Amino acid sequence: MLRAAKTSVIRPFDPWRGRFCTCPPKFSFDPYTGCEHGCLYCYASSYIRRFYECRPKRDLLKLVKSDVKKLPENALISMSNSSDPYPPMELELQLTRQCLAEFQKKNLRILIITKSDLVTRDLDLLRKLRCAVALTITTLDASLARRLEPNAPPPSRRLDAVEKLSSEGIKIGIRVDPIIPYLNDDVRELLKEVRNTGAAHVTSSTFKPRPDSWARIEMTFPEIAEKLRPFYFGEGERIARSHYLPKTLRFRLMEKVAEECRRLSLTFACCREGFTELNTGASCDGSHLTPARPYSSKD
C-alpha cells in the first residue's frame, strides 16, 4: 500500500479510482499547471481551468523540497500525468530540471512522461537518477501530428530524443497513446521505428473522449468524427465522464498493437482498457524500467 504522505504538490496517484487503471502505487507530480502542447485529445483540459495557458506552480521548489522529505524511501514519482514537464517555457525556467535535482538527493524513482525532446537537455542529470523516460509518439506523419498535437515537437524530434537517450543507456518506454480509429490506428511503421531507436516497452490506449476533447476532434477532423460518432455514442459505453469505443473494437485495436510489439520483441501494456491478458510488460506505465540504482553508479 502506498503511504499517503501529507504532501502538497507530490501526491499519491489516484486517477479517480478508475476501474481499469493498473498502475503500480506511485506519486504524481506536475511542475506546471496546464500545458502548451495543445493536443486535441487531451483529457486533462476537462478538469483544469485555463488548461492551455501553461504556468509554473507558485512556490514550486519550496513545496517540492518539503514534500520530498516526507516521501517514503524508494517512492516512485510519475511526472507528469496532467501536463508535460517539458513545455517550451522549461527551456528558460528550468523548473523541471531543478525538481529532478531535488529527487536525485533522495534517490527516488522517477518516470518522466513527455512529448518533448527538451528532456535530452537533462541527460547529465538523468544519468544520476533512477529514472525511465516515457516518450509519447502517436504517429510518424508530421502533418497529422501538427494538427493533433499542434505545439508539441514533431515526431522526428521525439524519435531523435529516444535514440539519443537510449544510446546513453537511459531506459525508454513509448506511449502510443491514444489511438484514434481512422486517424492513427496503423502503427506498424511507428513501432518499427521505435524498436530501431532502442525503446524497450510500449504503452497504448484508445481515445476516450470527454465533451471538450470530442468537440476539438470534431472541429478539426469532421469527417472522421462523423464515422466515429456511432461507435462512441451509440454502441460504445460511457464510463465516468469518458466515452469508450465498443469493447470488441477496443480489444481489436489493442490486440493489433500487442501483436506487432510481440513480433518486434517490445514489451506491451494497455492503459485503462481492462485487457490485462494482452500485457507482457512488468508494469503498464513503464515504471518497471526505472533501475535499482542510478545509471552513473552502474558498472
Taking the C-alpha atoms of residue 72 and residue 107, their distance in angstroms, rounded to an integer, is 11
Which string of DSSP letters, residue by residue, matches 120-165? GGGHHHHTTSEEEEEEE---S-HHHHHHHSTTSPPHHHHHHHHHHH
Provide the grid cell at 237: 459505453
- If one asks whether residue 44 binds ligand SF4 (CB under 6 A), the answer comes out as yes
User: Which range binds ligand SF4 by CB under 6 A, 10-18, 37-45, 123-131, 195-203?
Assistant: 37-45
Would you count residue 84 as binding ligand SF4 (CB under 6 A)? Answer: yes
Specify the stretch interacting with ligand SF4 by CB under 6 A; choose among 17-25, 34-42, 122-130, 156-164.
34-42
**Binding of ligand SF4 by 42 (CB under 6 A):** yes
Binding residues among 136-195 for ligand SF4 as defined by CB under 6 A: 149, 152
Q: In this chain, which of 7, 28, 33, 83 binds ligand SF4, going by CB under 6 A?
A: 83
Beta bridge partners of 135: 114, 174
Output 296-299 pairs: Cβ under 8 A, ≥24 positions apart. 296/127, 296/128, 298/169
The only residue of 10, 35, 161, 284 in contact with ligand SF4, by rule CB under 6 A:
35
Q: Which of residues 50-69 bind ligand SF4 (CB under 6 A)?
A: none
Q: Which is nearer to ligand SF4, 71 or 165 (CB)?
A: 165
User: Which residues, 6 or more positions from 40, have their beta carbon under 8 angstroms from its beta carbon?
Assistant: 147, 148, 149, 213, 216, 217, 220
Nine-digit cell string for 55: 504556468
Question: Which residues of the chain form contacts with ligand SF4 (CB under 6 A)?
Answer: 35, 37-39, 42, 44, 83-84, 115, 149, 152
